[in-house]
Chain A
Amino acid sequence: MKDLVYVLTDPVGLHARPAGDFVKAVQKFACKVTVEKGGRKADAKRLLAVMGLGAKGGDVITMSFEGEGEEEACEIMKAYLEEHL
């Protein structure tokens, strides 16, 4: 299990379209991926669940990776978040 803590810098955060792109990126991994904000956890492969977190700029999110390729997935998402969110 790998954890990744990140503070969203894009003011709009994980809303509609950015959330869609985020989910698409996560769906490429075989491992189980969750994203948590303020004690609420969502399956990171599910768009509506991710949008439902209502994560905005300034919010801290924690992503957890578990299973096949978790190390690599975590690295890729770290770079993804830094570039896009």
Chain B
Amino acid sequence: MTKLQGTRVFGGYAIGTVSVFDNKKEDVERRHAADPSQEEARFRNARERAKEELQALYEKTSASMDDESAKIFEVHQMMLDDLDFEDAVMEGIRTEGINAEYAVLQAGKNLSEVFAQMDDEYMRARAADLLDISDRVIAILTGRKRKELAPTDEPVILLAEDLSPSETVQLDRSKILAFVTRFGSVNSHTAILARSMGIPAIIGLDYDAEADGQTAIVDGYGGLLLTDPDEETLAQYKEKKEKDDAARALLLELKGKENITLDGRSIEIFANIGGVSDVEDALQNDAGGVGLFRSEFLYLGTEDYPDEETQFQAYKTVAEKMAGKKVIIRTLDIGADKRVSYFDLPAEENPALGYRAIRICLDRPEILRTQLRAILRASAFGNIAVMYPMIASVWEIQRLKEVFEEVKGDLADEHIAFDENMEQGVMIETPAAVLISEELAQEVDFFSIGTNDLTQYVLAADRQNPRLARFSDAHHPALLRAIRMTVESAHRYGKTVGICGELAADTLMTEFFLTLGVDELSVTPSMVLTVRDAVRKTDLRA
């Protein structure tokens, strides 16, 4: 058995036979051309034919797949007409006196390099398009037939150098179990295709072409290719795959369905995320929004405070990917168990009851100002709300709202766009916040109950201490009463209330939350559909 590591593009497991697609590009001969005007004519002619091919591919793809996938061929046609591409080819033919095919190869490589070096991942992926269009023209010029994927009877695990956009579109999708490529990027066409097909894909994996025909396992989650596996490994992965398949079946069955009880009570189910890359999981699992976007990832693992631009880009990306669905960003919750050296916080006897979250921000408003500016700017690109953690007093939220208004005023003065009506909410996670929830409800647009901290504070049981497990009962009547009180206060003032702690995903609690009339549950992405399933099986009349 050999085990090789690459980069995960899309999760999932596949077990099957390997098929190696040898699509290394052939060398193009560099020749001196006697008659440059003839080479020019050959190039123009080949370019026209390439555009015709692309038009046919466009039509075929929009019929067999969708317009979105087909668009790439429209872009390829436009690229072929690009003046920089044409100039670069002409330069080679006229100035260097070389043959048309070599001039095209050179032009494609040079332009592709420019894109490959760009900061933006999307633009880097365009490098593949340039190589693809030049290869198409070269193939026409040399009369070479571009390599086709050999049709197979049985579905296979496909190993290739990299797949060009035009190759991926010609694949018989029903015959592919997984993609593994030696090159490519997470935004390459192979990657995009794998995601849309929902099959495992790995890139940057240096496979051995001898593996052709062998049995292999692709572990898309771990980015692993295991060729010629032993019995034990095979059995292990078969079991993993079965479980994964069952989870996907649930996904298929429940995706797009409403979160509604048998007697017609509905509730929102959102996802908790801790970084930009989690958005994909939230969307895959059909979350209705992001109920808790933890912003700590921006502060942890860096040397200094993240600047406004870095934060803005992260929030904006998430808001855009969620495409109009609500995204609730929680301001930084540093302190307690999350320590960051550059914050320069003194050691504490009792950090859980200590200097953390909003308590730091109220003393050092410049940190909060930067974050609020970034959040407000991002609000122009989606449906964003902001939420403040660790609130215990009314004056705290009043002061935070003042800072919020000041930041809005600054942005307006600078003519920077933001959402005028962006909502503000608070986390309810201290017993104090529960007890003054009526007053808090009059100050904010929404509540979100953070059950993890609320449990430890209500029951006075440190959640980091394993010996206290049986004392921190999340179903304790005290906690349930605290939740009830919070929900009632919010609703009395027409405000919404969500639950974003672990308890939100506890399906033993789903009926309780529905009875109280909780508006939204925010859970880890992989639990969204499990909770949906529980909601759909609940009958409040019973």
Contact = CB atoms under 8 A, between A and B. Distances in A.
B320 A17 contact: no
B266 to A, nearest CB: 30
Contacts of B13: none
Nearest to B86: A46
A7 B74 CA distance: 26
A23 B77 CA distance: 13
Name the prevailing secondary structure of the B interface residues. Answer: helix
Interface in A40-84: 43, 45-49, 51-52, 54, 57-58
Contact of A58 (B82, B114, B118, B316): B316
A47 B74 contact: no
B380 interface: yes
Given A11-B381, A46-B83, A58-B316, A52 B74 contact: no
B122 interface: yes
A47 B81 contact: yes
A49 B119 contact: no
Contacts of A23: 78
A45 B381 contact: no
B382 to A, nearest CB: 8
A47 B118 CA distance: 16
B118 A17 contact: no
B481 interface: no
B126 A51 contact: yes
Most interface-central of A15, A17, A23, A58 (chain B CB within 10 A): A58
A84 to B, nearest CB: 15
Contacts of A52: 114-115, 118, 123
A52 to B, nearest CB: 6
B120 interface: yes
A57 B82 contact: no
Contacts of A11: 320, 381
Contacts of A49: 84
A58 B380 contact: yes
Nearest to B380: A58
A77 to B, nearest CB: 18
Contact of B123 (A24, A51, A58): A51
Interface in A1-59: 7, 11, 15-17, 20, 23-24, 43, 45-49, 51-52, 54, 57-58
Interface in B352-401: 377, 380-381
B381 A48 contact: no
B379 to A, nearest CB: 12
A48 B380 CA distance: 28
A48 B120 contact: no
B316 A46 contact: no
Given A54-B119, A54-B120, 10 more contacts: A17-B74, A20-B78, A45-B83, A46-B83, A47-B81, A48-B85, A48-B115, A48-B130, A51-B126, A52-B123
10 contacts: A7-B417, A11-B381, A20-B75, A47-B79, A48-B84, A48-B85, A48-B115, A49-B84, A52-B114, A58-B380
Q: Which 4 A-B pairs have the closest CB atoms?
A: A20-B78, A47-B82, A16-B75, A46-B83
